[in-house]
């Protein structure tokens, strides 16, 4: 037995990273699978009449240690992976899928769940208990419990294949990201690129004993290059490398994986009695049906497209005027957008970055959380981490009660996938009269400090940090009984509300004054910069909205149809992008082959959620603005009815309890500058 199979002998039972031997994960997980099966057998083998406690609660709390170990393992696979971890992931994922199927396809267990479910009107259950009972019943009925035996075997096989395919998809994307380097040695080739980005590129080159500069596809390297590099051919080279990830017909190609995943998901949905994968997924979302999602996306498209086309024309004319560009290409977008923004607003990310030192922004997020929710963050150094970059905090409330452990991991490295996300190492729950508090983490990819400069964030990175921190608050302030209903365990199109609403404070002078201070002089960001940030908030918003809608429509094109006749990923994708395309198509690139959100993460049939939640967050923040952006009363209502409640009730019920009414899209359209008078 390893350290992984016992209650961790650490402060708050945090993950004992430094004591874990990576090669112990496989045997530890296998041992916990056996233990979990025994717990399920104990539920089904009892002669006692099925009750909520001996069946539903017992099922909810089964596999507790397995969940803890696998959350640690798969979080490492995202944030600090290596070949050993990836190999173990390929070996254990099918076993975990098999266990999941063993539970949901267990007839004796389902009979007991059904027996409790049929008595639910007479059980005097709390609202949370009713939700848990409904959720457990649906986890069986929606996942094959009613299928005949031969179809159950087909389902098991499909689920095993999907588990392996999505892992392979993600491994390929990470390998492709790490594989590409643009090594430049001529001063002329790096003209226009800011000093900070150049210093980081030089540091990377030096670490590999090379002259000049190395640029990669990691966001802190890629984005400044695309935004500032004057050499158009090199921008094209970078954009093509980024856009052609896993689309080269080599050993890291994901085209077949995409086709297989889409087809298997469709087969699975059909097997369970649903028309498409989207019909299956959306039954348990606020949007409810693919038709409603398409209608929502099309309605926003109708509002955004005229604005996007006007903006594209403006950008094209601008590029032609200053550089004689006849046809604006996708690799010109960030470059000329930045130049136009500077001309229109005299606002440059490089001017702003000195005011957004990473440590100050973190403290700013903490201060905003303190002013709103009475939370206090104390950095500690006695909690184990998986990498020296990771910072750890204890979180306390206004009464000095311990609330959560918070991990923050901010910089890119070889074993870490691109992007930003929030995750959990331990859920909040109540059991046997005691309350277990959560362990929450956010992971980002911000520029590392260099020899001469601290980590300075772009404004976009500031909003990213606040976004992930909003997810973290949802996890930290959880106050439910059952782990599967706690924190961010909510309908997928509701989960982005707490994250997206936090971004709003980044645009408010009162909030910026707290943390936007020059890293050398301590000077608070000038009011004129704040006014420019606000004025530029809707700059090219039509194009940005169109881009988000294109991703949502691409997602639905894979999952809202029968994809069995699709044989060519690129052709299929081109059709899906038809209504939203502004730039000429690049035949060397494809989005789907590296679209990790929908083929590796949990966003299949759910990418529309970002826009859906924007309607909620704009409406919710309007409520704050009607009172005060730091209104304790409104923040308390938000914490009580949204953040603490997790998935214990239907999200619209929770939202209306907070806001007093359903959300109206006008607030979003107004904020985005898409509301025509």
Locus of tokens 């910072």: 391
Q: Is 528 a catalytic residue?
A: no
Active-site residue identified among 57, 338, 461, 468: 468
Helix (H, G, I), strand (E, B) or coil at 658: helix
Domains of the chain, each with CATH number or no CATH: 3-104+106-142 (1.20.1050.40), 180-234 (no CATH)
- Output the CA–CA distances (angstroms, integers) from residue 317 to 183, 313, 535, in the order listed: 32, 6, 22
CA distance linking residue 408 with residue 546, whole number of Å? 32
**In this structure, what DSSP letter does residue 434 have?**
E
- Quote helix, strand, coil % in the chain, to nearest 5: 60, 5, 30
For residue 128, the model assigns a pLDDT of 98
Phi, psi of 118 (to 5 degrees): -70, -20
Quick one: tokens of 580?
Answer: 């939203």
Tell me the pLDDT tens digit for each residue of 520-552: 999 999 999 999 999 898 999 999 999 999 999
CA distance linking residue 484 with residue 497, whole number of Å? 19
pTM: 0.93
CA distance linking residue 261 with residue 599, whole number of Å? 7
Helix (H, G, I), strand (E, B) or coil at 589: coil
> H helices of 477-583, where?
496-503, 509-515, 527-535, 541-559, 569-576
CA distance linking residue 135 with residue 104, whole number of Å? 12
CA distance linking residue 647 with residue 134, whole number of Å? 12
Which residue from 573, 625, 619, 616 is spatially nearest to 594, judged by alpha carbons?
Answer: 573
Annotate 509-526 with DSSP letters as a single string. HHHHHHH-B-TTT-PBPP
For residue 349, the model assigns a pLDDT of 85
CA distance linking residue 541 with residue 330, whole number of Å? 16
Cβ contacts of 437 within 8 Å, gap of 6 or more: 12, 402, 403, 404, 405, 428
Helix (H, G, I), strand (E, B) or coil at 120: helix
Which residue from 621, 658, 659, 640 is spatially nearest to 374, judged by alpha carbons?
Answer: 640
CA distance linking residue 31 with residue 192, whole number of Å? 56
The H helix count followed by the E strand count for the chain is 27, 9
By the 10 Å C-beta count (0-12 exposed, 13-18 middle, 19+ buried), 26 is classed as middle
Strands 402-409, 391-396: pairing kind? antiparallel
For residue 672, the model assigns a pLDDT of 84
Quick one: tokens of 516?
Answer: 């936007």
For residue 676, the model assigns a pLDDT of 58
Tell me the pLDDT tens digit for each residue of 136-148: 999 999 999 999 9
CA distance linking residue 320 with residue 337, whole number of Å? 13
Phi, psi of 377 (to 5 degrees): -110, 125
Low-confidence stretches of the chain (pLDDT < 70) are: 675-677
**In this structure, what DSSP letter does residue 446 have?**
P
CA distance linking residue 553 with residue 639, whole number of Å? 33
Phi, psi of 462 (to 5 degrees): -60, -45
């Amino acid at each position: 037995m390893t350290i992984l199979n016992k209650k961790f002998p650490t402060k708050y039972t945090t993950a004992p990273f430094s004591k874990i031997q990576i090669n112990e994960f496989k045997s530890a997980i296998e041992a916990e699978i056996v233990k979990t099966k025994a717990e399920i057998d104990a539920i089904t083998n009892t002669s006692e009449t099925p009750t909520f406690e001996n069946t539903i609660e017992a099922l909810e709390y089964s596999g507790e240690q397995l969940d803890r170990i696998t959350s640690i393992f798969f979080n490492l696979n995202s944030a600090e992976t290596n070949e050993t971890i990836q190999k173990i992931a390929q070996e254990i994922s099918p076993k975990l899928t098999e266990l999941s199927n063993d539970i949901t396809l267990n007839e004796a267990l389902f009979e007991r769940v059904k027996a409790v479910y049929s008595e639910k009107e007479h059980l005097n259950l709390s609202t949370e208990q009713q939700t848990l009972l409904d959720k457990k019943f649906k986890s069986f009925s929606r996942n094959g419990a009613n299928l005949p035996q031969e179809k159950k075997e087909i389902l098991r096989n499909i689920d095993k294949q999907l588990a392996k395919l999505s892992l392979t998809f993600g491994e390929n994307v990470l390998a492709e990201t790490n594989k590409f380097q643009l090594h430049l040695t001529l001063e002329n080739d790096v003209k226009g690129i800011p000093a900070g980005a150049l210093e980081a590129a030089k540091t990377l080159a030096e670490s590999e004993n090379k002259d000049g500069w190395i640029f990669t596809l990691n966001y802190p390297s890629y984005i400044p290059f695309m935004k500032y590099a004057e050499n158009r051919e090199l921008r094209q080279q970078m954009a093509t490398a980024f856009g052609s990830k896993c689309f080269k017909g080599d050993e890291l190609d994901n085209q077949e994986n995409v086709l297989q995943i889409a087809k298997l998901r469709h087969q699975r949905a059909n097997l369970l009695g649903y028309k498409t994968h989207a019909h299956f997924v959306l039954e348990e979302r606020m949007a409810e049906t693919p038709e409603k999602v398409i209608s929502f996306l099309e309605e926003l498209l109708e509002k955004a497209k005229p604005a996007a086309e006007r903006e594209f024309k403006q950008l094209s004319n601008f590029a032609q005027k200053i550089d004689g560009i006849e046809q604006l290409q996708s690799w010109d977008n960030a470059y000329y957008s930045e130049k136009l923004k500077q001309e229109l607003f005299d606002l440059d990310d490089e001017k702003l970055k000195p005011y957004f030192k990473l440590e100050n922004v973190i403290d700013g997020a903490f201060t905003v959380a303190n002013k709103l929710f009475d939370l206090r963050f104390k950095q500690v150094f006695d909690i184990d981490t998986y990498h020296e970059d990771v910072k750890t905090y204890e979180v306390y409330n206004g009464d000095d009660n311990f609330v959560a452990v918070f991990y923050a991991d901010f910089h890119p490295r070889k074993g870490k996938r691109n992007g930003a996300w929030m995750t959990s190492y331990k859920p909040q729950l109540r059991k046997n009269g005691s309350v277990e508090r959560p362990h929450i983490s956010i992971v980002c990819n911000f520029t590392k400090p260099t020899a001469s400069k601290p980590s300075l964030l772009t404004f976009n990175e500031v909003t990213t940090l606040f976004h992930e921190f909003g997810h973290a608050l949802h996890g930290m302030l959880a106050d439910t009984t059952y782990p599967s209903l706690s924190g961010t365990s909510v309908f997928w199109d509701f989960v982005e509300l707490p994250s997206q609403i936090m971004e709003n404070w980044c645009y408010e002078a009162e909030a910026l004054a707290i943390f936007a201070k020059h890293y050398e002089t301590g000077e608070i960001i000038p009011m004129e910069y704040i006014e420019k940030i606000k004025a530029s908030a809707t700059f090219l918003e039509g194009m940005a909205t169109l881009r988000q809608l294109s991703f949502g429509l691409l997602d639905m094109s894979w999952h809202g149809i029968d994809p069995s006749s699709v044989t060519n990923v690129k052709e299929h994708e081109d059709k899906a992008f038809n209504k939203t395309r502004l730039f000429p198509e690049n035949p060397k690139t494809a989005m789907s082959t590296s679209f990790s959100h929908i083929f590796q993460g949990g966003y299949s049939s759910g990418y529309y959620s970002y826009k859906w939640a924007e309607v909620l967050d704009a409406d919710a923040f309007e409520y704050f603005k009607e009172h005060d952006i730091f209104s304790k009363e409104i923040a308390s209502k938000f914490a009580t009815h949204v953040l603490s409640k997790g998935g214990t009730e239907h999200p619209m019920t929770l939202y209306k309890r907070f806001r007093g009414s359903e959300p109206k899209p006008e607030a979003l359209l107004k904020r985005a500058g898409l509301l025509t008078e």
